């Protein structure tokens, strides 16, 4: 009976520790990817961007817009 109680106590302690460890690992990974300017974060499920910083003055931000990369056009002569 004591072994069963110790096993339950270990399991009850392990699950919250595992959840906290996993959340910390995800946060560190996200911080690293942001520092590396990982553009894939814009399209990744589970990542919600709520704030944009370091944008040029006068920039208009459109919520839920799809970002499309296009080459610059050459000036017409």
Convert the pLDDT of each residue in 4-48 to its tens digit.
999 999 989 999 999 999 999 988 998 898 888 888 887 788 777
What is the span of the domain harbouring residue 26? 15-48
| pLDDT in the model for residue 14 | 92
Domain presence at residue 4 = no
Total number of domains in the chain? 1
Domain presence at residue 19 = yes
* Contacts of 34 by beta carbon, 8 Å cutoff, 6+ apart: 41
DSSP 45: T
The two tokens of residue 36 are: 């590396």
| pLDDT in the model for residue 18 | 94
Domain presence at residue 35 = yes
Give 64: exposed, middle or buried? Use CB within 10 Å, 0-12, 13-18, 19+. Answer: exposed
């Amino acid at each position: 009976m004591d072994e069963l109680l110790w096993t339950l106590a270990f399991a009850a302690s392990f699950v919250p520790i595992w959840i906290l460890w996993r959340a910390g690992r995800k946060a560190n990974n996200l911080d690293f990817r942001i520092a590396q300017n990982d553009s894939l974060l814009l399209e990744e499920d589970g990542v919600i961007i709520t704030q944009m910083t370091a944008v040029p003055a006068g920039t208009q931000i459109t919520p839920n817009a799809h970002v499309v990369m296009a080459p610059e056009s050459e000036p017409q002569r």
